[in-house]
Structure 1
Amino acid sequence: MNLPAFVQGLRDSVSIAVGYIPVAISFGLAAVHVGLSPITTILTSMLIYAGASQFILVGLIATGGSLASIVGIILLMNLRHIFYGPAVLAKLGEASRRLPVGLLAAGLTDEVFATAIGKLGQQAPAAREYWYAGLQLGAYSSWVLGTVVGAYFGHDWLSQSPVLSKALGFVLPALFCALLLEIRKIVPFRVLVAAGIATLLGLALLPAYGAIIAGMLAGALFSARRS
């Protein structure tokens, strides 16, 4: 194992963790509030690990949604990973791959994807898998840790600090803005504009997850036409 590359991946995950922990605390608090036990809440983050999808899952459970509708909506929301996986694999390369593809896919999230696309090219080919594994583990651990804190202690903290409760909603959007600036270095501006316009138009006609997919398709098509 390339330990230095793995440790560097952990270090590079800190920027993701800064955004994940507050949001995961909010998830832990929300899940317990609708009746899930702390243990069930933590297992949800450990086994599903799907960010916004987990909040929707909690909402559907709270409103008595059927199992079929819950599974269907969560799957639709995460269709974007069909695009993420091949892009990351292309950056990792084939020659030096040692880790199972399933392991490499397990921790793929929006923020991990954006960071990996921006920084994988800076790693030596033989070190990329281990750097990526460290990045994933750091992000995953922070999400689970935040959920634990929210499930067991979140209510007490937020009730004592109204400022903190309002700040939690700002952290993840700020992280996305920072990641967008990172991606801007390697993606043509015109492609980002095409994806952004398609996403905004999609929001007027589709659920949020549908708008995201529309934006990704528009960006991919526009990039392919210009290349």
Structure 2
Amino acid sequence: MAASLGAGLRAALPIMIGYFPVAVAFGTAGRALGLDPWLVTLLSVLVYSGASQFLILSTLGGGTPLPLVVALCAGLNLRHLLYGLILMSRLPPLAALRFLYAFTLTDEVFASTLARAQDREEPFAAPWLLGLGLGAYGAWVAGTATGAYLGDALAAHVPLAAEASRFALPALFLAIAWANLSAATLRPMLAALVVALPLGLMGQSAWGILGGALAGVLVAAWGGRR
């Protein structure tokens, strides 16, 4: 069935392929800072936010106060509130399932869910959502563990893989965005680009993502009322 757990896992496969090498890079970076492999892996299990996790690593040796780290990580993920507002009416009513999906919600999972929303008008099936979210989450945790426990060996024997991993996630998101491109999404995408690109070029990528997401939502909402 198109709404089955297996269908959700198949939909997550491109995300899993993109997440795994980036997570390996995170695991390797955590070990380079002297963290135990189990602790690096636990960060991915509990936090599951690539930008926030790399931010945590960058602040570990700098003496940054913990409340500031928490505030910065929260700021990096404010865009998920917008994602939730867009998808909430189509999610199953069960609170536990909504919480689980919210935990596994990332930019790429949101984009894949939104692509399905354009094809179907009925509420999302719970098994499909679980397959999509847990597939992506599992790949991230597995990649982190691989990097934490085997990262040094991989870097020594396959150095090109470490270099290529930094491009995996941007390439994945670009591919998903291209797949979602249509007459209905063109204006919101352009609005997001106009806001996010200048901020990104100024080194404010977190604000760029949030501002671009907000601009895209506002343009889409305005177009829907015309």
Query: CA contact under 8 A between 2:101 and 2:130: conserved in structure 1?
Result: yes
Quote the residue 2:76 is aligned against.
77
Quote the residue 2:211 is aligned against.
214
Quote the residue 1:153 is aligned against.
150
In the alignment, the residues of structure 2 paired with residue 185 and residue 129 of structure 1 have an alpha-carbon distance, to the nearest angstrom, of 27
Deviations 1:77-105 (A, max 9, x none): 0000110112222333xxx5346221221
Matched residues, number: 223
Gaps of 5+ in 2: none
The answer to whether the aligner puts 1:106 opposite 2:107 as a matched pair is no
Shift of 1:3: 10
In the alignment, the residues of structure 2 paired with residue 127 and residue 81 of structure 1 have an alpha-carbon distance, to the nearest angstrom, of 18
Query: CA contact under 8 A between 1:20 and 1:142: conserved in structure 2?
Result: yes
Shift of 1:202: 2.3
In the alignment, the residues of structure 2 paired with residue 85 and residue 223 of structure 1 have an alpha-carbon distance, to the nearest angstrom, of 15
Shift of 1:213: 1.1
Cα 1:67–1:127 shift into 2, 3 Å: closer
Cα 1:5–1:122 shift into 2, 3 Å: farther
Query: CA contact under 8 A between 1:24 and 1:146: conserved in structure 2?
Result: yes
Alignment-mate amino acid for residue 57 of structure 2: V
Query: CA contact under 8 A between 1:97 and 1:129: conserved in structure 2?
Result: no
Deviations 1:116-150 (A, max 9, x none): 11024546846622201110010000000001100
Quote the residue 2:21 is aligned against.
22
Gaps of 5+ in 1: none
Cα 1:123–1:36 shift into 2, 3 Å: farther
Query: CA contact under 8 A between 2:44 and 2:141: conserved in structure 1?
Result: yes
How many percent of aligned residue pairs carry the same amino acid?
Answer: 35
Quote the residue 2:88 is aligned against.
89
In the alignment, the residues of structure 2 paired with residue 198 and residue 89 of structure 1 have an alpha-carbon distance, to the nearest angstrom, of 25
Q: Mapping of 1:191-206 within 5 angstroms? A: 191-204=188-201
Q: Mapping of 1:51-200 within 5 angstroms? A: 51-92=50-91, 97-98=93-94, 100=96, 101-122=98-119, 125=122, 128-185=125-182, 187-200=184-197
Shift of 1:170: 1.5
Q: Tell me, what secondary structure is at the counterpart of 2:4?
A: helix
Cα 1:36–1:12 shift into 2, 3 Å: same
Shift of 1:162: 2.1
**TM-score for both structures, normalised by structure 2:** 0.90
Query: CA contact under 8 A between 1:25 and 1:147: conserved in structure 2?
Result: yes
Query: CA contact under 8 A between 2:15 and 2:108: conserved in structure 1?
Result: yes
In the alignment, the residues of structure 1 paired with residue 121 and residue 6 of structure 2 have an alpha-carbon distance, to the nearest angstrom, of 14
**TM-score for both structures, normalised by structure 1:** 0.90
Shift of 1:177: 0.9
Quote the residue 2:12 is aligned against.
13
